[in-house]
């Protein structure tokens, strides 16, 4: 019995993916659990395994093509399946699959999927399925107008030196037929068809370059638009004098380096943020309008924005309140490295309650960060600047850290946002006070 295996729903709102690499070909026998194809989604690169043993009879889609969830991937010939079983399988909806990391040469660790059941199959012969050869090759340039024609007509046009894209088609849906080619050729020979003016030579350097959107960039665009359309953004900006924090880090960074960990300012900022969230829980909440309620979260999973060459991602550091500065330092560095190497899994993005974006690490000072919806707030961290400050009525050299926090004004009032910032900046100004909470 033959079955169509469709691109399954792998959860986290993922609706499409790009085919990066096929591991199988027509006629190949495959075992249950063996990888069929490597897919790139907007969050992870993941392998899709075969849920059944069988023989590949058709492959749908080419490398570089973007397909939707529930689009067909492969057709399998499977022994020992009755018609009744096929109908039962076909009636089921594909179940979400769980992602976990695996090692893969040449691409680092990627997410693989464990099939929850056989429900991703549909019987062969389903109407409306695209033929395997229908997809365009990745990177293939499409002309502005491409004639619809049979292979025989194309061969005839090539033999007679006719540009088939100029020939009016009389077949179904405007398809160019052999008779159309013959008529066009005869008119051209009789001088009734004037040759097209030769196009002007292209400049050595094109005026524009077209680059396809990556899955990650499309996800960023969707998420930013959703955030701006769904949340009422308000941004509070503060400066905090952090000379004591700078001194504390300088004192201990070598000891951390000796233990293989880079000590940055982010662990202290995370700790200060969590202390503020515990006092002002609405900043660790989200609004549930469908049920007319606020969801206040008693856990502290902080998202950290990471700049990668593919785009911005916001993986989550879990249970920040339970981690030491040393453990936080390890987690932040490890998470950022895995993000840049495309080794994150879907689990790394789940259940964030608040986010921090550190544009200061690349030299930025102030920004207006966009909330990672449906969270209530995001803190932007600028670069620490050595500057004159006033202490005890004296102008001295100090270090100033600029902060920008955007909040969802539907959830958080301006006064509460200001009080939260006062709390956070107080801990950063006097980092030793973090030990007393």
The answer on 262 and 185 residing in a single domain is no
Band the pLDDT of 133: cuts 50, 70, 90: very low
For the cut 70, the answer to whether the pLDDT of residue 132 exceeds it is no
- Residue 417 structural domain: 215-436
Q: What is the pLDDT of residue 82?
A: 56
Q: Give the per-residue SS3 of the chain.
A: CEEEEECCCCCCCCCEEEEEEECCCCCCEECCCCEEEEEECCCCEEEEECCCCEEEEEECCCCCCEEECCCEEEEEECCCCCHHHHHHHHHCCCCCCEEEEEEECCCEEEEEEECCCCCCEEECCCCCCCCHHHCCCCCCCCCCCCCCECHHHHHHHHHHCCCHHHCCCCCHHHCECHHHHHHHHHHHHCCCCCCCCCCCCCCCCCCCCCCCCCHHHHHHHHHHHHHHHHCCEEEEEEEEECHHHHHHHHHHHHHHHHCCCCCCCHHHHHHHHHHHHHHCHHHHEEEEHHHCEEEECCCCCEEECEEECCEEECCEECCHHHCCHHHHHHHHHHHHHHHHCCCCCHHHHCCCCEEEECHHHHCCCCCCCCCCCCCCEEEEECCCEEEEEEECCEEEEEEEEEEEEEEECCCCCHHHHHHHHHHHHHHHHCHHHHHHC
Q: What is the pLDDT of residue 177?
A: 85
- Residue 89 confidence (pLDDT): 52
Q: Do 328 and 429 lie in a common domain?
A: yes
Same-domain check for residues 129 and 155: no
pLDDT digits (tens, 9 = 90+) for 319-346: 999 999 999 999 999 999 999 998 988 8
The structural domain count of the chain equals: 3
Write down the mean pLDDT value for the chain. Answer: 82
Q: How far is CA 194 from the centre of its chain?
A: 51
pLDDT, position 128: 38
Confidence at residue 7, expressed as pLDDT on a 0 to 100 scale? 87
Q: With cut-offs at 50, 70 and 90, classify the pLDDT of residue 199.
A: low
Residues 33-52: what's their mean pLDDT? 85
User: pLDDT tens, 359-388?
Assistant: 999 989 999 999 999 999 999 999 999 999
Judged against a pLDDT cut of 90, whether residue 263 lies above it is answered with yes
Same domain as 338, residue 420: yes
Please give the average per-residue pLDDT across 216-242, as a whole number. Answer: 92
Q: Are residues 158 and 125 in the same domain?
A: no
165 in the same domain as 109: no
Whether 202 has a pLDDT exceeding 70, the answer reads no
Instruction: Reply yes or no on whether the pLDDT at 239 is more than 50.
Output: yes
198 falls within a domain? no
Q: What is the CATH number of the domain that holds 368?
A: 3.30.559.10
Q: Which range among 92-96, 113-117, 270-274, 409-413 shows the weakest confidence by mean pLDDT?
A: 113-117
Short-list 162, 135, 422, CA closest to 283: 422
Task: Determine, yes or no, domain membership for 24.
Answer: yes
Q: Where is pLDDT greater, at 1 or 433?
A: 433
The verdict on 130 and 234 lying in the same domain is: no
pLDDT of 39 reads 87
Same domain membership, residue 326 and residue 265: yes
* Confidence (pLDDT) at 83: 52
Question: Looking at the structure, do residues 37 and 118 belong to the same domain, yes or no?
Answer: yes
What pLDDT is attached to residue 268? Answer: 96
Predicted confidence (pLDDT) at residue 137 exceeds the cutoff of 80: no
Same domain, 328 and 377: yes
Active site residues: 409
| CATH number of domain containing 82 | 2.40.50.100
Residue 120 pLDDT: 34
Question: What pLDDT, on a 0 to 100 scale, did the predictor assign at position 42?
Answer: 74
Average pLDDT over residues 30-58: 86
Provide the pLDDT confidence category of residue 293 given band limits of 50, 70 and 90. very high
pLDDT given at position 12: 64
Q: Which two tokens stand for residue 361?
A: 């690490």
Q: Is residue 379 part of a domain?
A: yes
Compute CA 355 distance to the chain's CA centroid, rounded to the nearest angstrom: 17
The domain spanning residue 185 has which CATH number? 4.10.320.10
Let me know whether 232 and 362 are in one domain: yes
Q: Is residue 201 part of a domain?
A: no
Same domain flag for 370 and 238 = yes
**Which residues, other chains included, contact 243 with Cβ-Cβ below 8 Å and sequence gap of 6+?**
389, 398, 399
Q: Which of 21-35, 72-86, 239-253 has the lowest mean pLDDT?
A: 72-86
Decide if 205 is inside a domain: no
Cα–Cα distances (Å) from 122 to 4, 94, 106, 136, 233, in that order, read 5, 10, 33, 25, 45
The Cα diameter of the chain in Å comes to: 98
Q: Give the pLDDT band (50/70/90) at residue 152.
A: confident
Highest mean pLDDT among 155-159, 310-314, 407-411: 407-411
**Pairing state between β 98-104 and 108-114:** antiparallel
Residue 97 has pLDDT above 50, yes or no: no
């Amino acid at each position: 019995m033959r079955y169509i295996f469709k691109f399954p729903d792998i959860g986290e709102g993922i609706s499409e993916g790009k085919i990066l690499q096929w591991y199988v070909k027509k006629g190949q026998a495959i075992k249950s659990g063996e990888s069929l194809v490597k897919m790139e989604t907007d969050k992870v690169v993941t392998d899709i395994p075969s849920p059944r043993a069988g023989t590949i009879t058709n492959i749908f889609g080419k490398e570089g093509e973007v397909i939707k969830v529930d689009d067909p991937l492969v057709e399998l010939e499977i022994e020992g399946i009755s018609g009744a079983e096929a109908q039962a399988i076909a009636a089921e909806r594909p179940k979400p699959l769980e992602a976990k990391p695996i090692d893969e040469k040449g691409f680092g660790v990627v997410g693989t999927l464990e099939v929850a059941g056989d429900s991703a199959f549909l019987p062969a012969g389903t109407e409306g399925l695209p033929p395997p050869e229908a997809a365009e090759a990745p990177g293939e340039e499409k002309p502005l107008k491409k004639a619809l024609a049979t292979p025989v007509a194309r061969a005839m046009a090539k033999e007679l030196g006719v540009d088939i894209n100029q020939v009016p088609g009389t077949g179904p849906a405007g398809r160019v037929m052999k008779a159309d080619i013959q008529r066009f050729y005869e008119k051209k020979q009789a001088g009734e068809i004037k040759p097209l003016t030769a196009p002007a030579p292209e400049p050595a350097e094109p005026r524009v370059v077209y680059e396809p959107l990556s899955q990650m960039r499309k996800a960023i665009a969707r998420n930013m638009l959703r955030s701006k359309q769904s949340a009422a953004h308000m941004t509070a900006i503060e400066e905090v004098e952090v000379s004591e924090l700078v001194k504390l880090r300088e004192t201990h960074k070598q000891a951390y380096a000796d233990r293989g960990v880079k000590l940055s300012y982010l662990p202290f900022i995370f700790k200060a943020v969590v202390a503020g969230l515990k006092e002002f829980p609405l900043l660790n909440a989200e609004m549930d309008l469908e049920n007319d309620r606020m969801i206040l979260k008693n856990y502290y999973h902080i998202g950290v924005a990471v700049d990668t060459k593919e785009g911005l991602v916001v993986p989550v550091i879990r249970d920040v309140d339970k981690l030491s500065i040393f453990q936080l330092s390890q987690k932040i560095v490890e998470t950022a490295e895995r993000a840049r190497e495309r080794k994150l899994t879907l689990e790394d993005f789940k259940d964030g309650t608040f986010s921090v974006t550190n544009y200061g690490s690349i030299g930025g000072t102030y920004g207006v960060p966009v909330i990672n919806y449906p969270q209530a707030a995001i803190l932007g961290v600028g670069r620490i600047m050595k500057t004159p400050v006033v202490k005890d009525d004296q102008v001295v050299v100090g270090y100033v850290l600029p902060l920008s926090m955007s909040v969802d004004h539907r959830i958080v009032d301006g006064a509460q946002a200001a009080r939260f910032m006062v709390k956070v900046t107080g801990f950063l100004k006097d980092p030793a006070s973090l030990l007393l909470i």
